[in-house]
Amino acid sequence: MVTEIEIGKVRIGGGPLAVIAGPCSLESLELSMETGKRIKEISEELGLNYIFKASYDKANRTSIHSYRGPGLEKGLRWLSEIKETLGVPVITDIHEPWQAAPVAEVADVLQIPAFLCRQTDLLVAASKTGKPLNVKKGQFMSPYDMKAVVSKCNEAGNDKVMLCERGTTMGYGQLVVDMRSLPIMRSMGCPVVFDATHSVQMPGGRGDTSGGDRRFVPALSRAAVGLGIDALFLEVHPNPDEALSDGPNMVPLDRLKDILTGIKVLDDLVKSDLGVFSLDWEDAGK
């Protein structure tokens, strides 16, 4: 049985697909607002729930000289304005335990980055805010390892945990997605999120920056939705080639509607007729 998580007017777990989307980092309030406004319009037109995402600080950039974001104080002001103006929930990531409380005052969901998903103090601090959590599975971990992560959050008093697949390291500078991880993690009672854009990332692929191949975002998204996921995570930008972070793997804003239109058809089919895939053989496909 998967836990249903209420995030404002958005319900994640057992219902229609939610879209978690926005630029990788908060480059400017104007660009973030423009992007979020258009994604909201597309989501409403298609009947999809929408949560805005963007980072106030990208603390794990490849180079120390890379753009990280506007910082905590300014970033939270921008996220608060986006949330109020667009009328949508917002999600952002934290990297250190002390950030949990101030970020929880603005964000509706706290996100734990993949590299930090085993950090006990960070998980406990985030859990104690009482906010829903989106924990990304580390690129170095199996889906079964996430059971211990969920236990840490639960024992810290938080059962509103989503688990996010974002690819597994295979060799150097390449990620692959094992779609088995989605039903495995969902069998832990947690809604599952598929991060389609970080899954096509090529870490360090450009030397001092990460590369990526956004062409495969639609294919991987369809594969994940076909199994039955609860939310689809996408980084979206009006002009990814000019983005200040993660440009190669981000979806161009003007291509988003085409991608989500097909996704909506598939999600409706899975949720109404095919059923979400289950590891219980007798329930699979029902």
CATH of 5-274, one of 3.40.50.300, 1.10.287.90, 3.20.20.70, 3.30.465.10: 3.20.20.70
CA nearest 243: which of 285, 210, 202? Answer: 210
**Amino acid at position 171, single letter:** G
Token pair belonging to 40: 């909201």
d(CA 83, CA 30): 13
In the chain, DSSP finds a helix count (H) and a strand count (E) of 8, 15
CA–CA dist 276, 81 (Å, integer): 36
Q: What is the pLDDT of residue 281?
A: 59
Structure-token pair, residue 158: 């938080």
Residues 6+ apart with CB under 8 A from 25: 54, 55, 56, 58, 67, 68, 69, 244, 245, 246
Coil, helix or strand for 53?
Answer: strand
For the whole model, what pTM was predicted? 0.94
First to last CA, the chain: 14
Q: What is the Cβ-side half-sphere exposure of residue 254, based on CA atoms within 13 angstroms?
A: 3
Q: What is the mean pLDDT of residues 227-238?
A: 97
pLDDT at 261 over 90: yes
8 vs 284 pLDDT, higher one: 8
Tokens of 12: 């994640």
Mean pLDDT of 255-281: 92
pLDDT exceeds 50 at position 173: yes
pLDDT above 50 (res 284): no
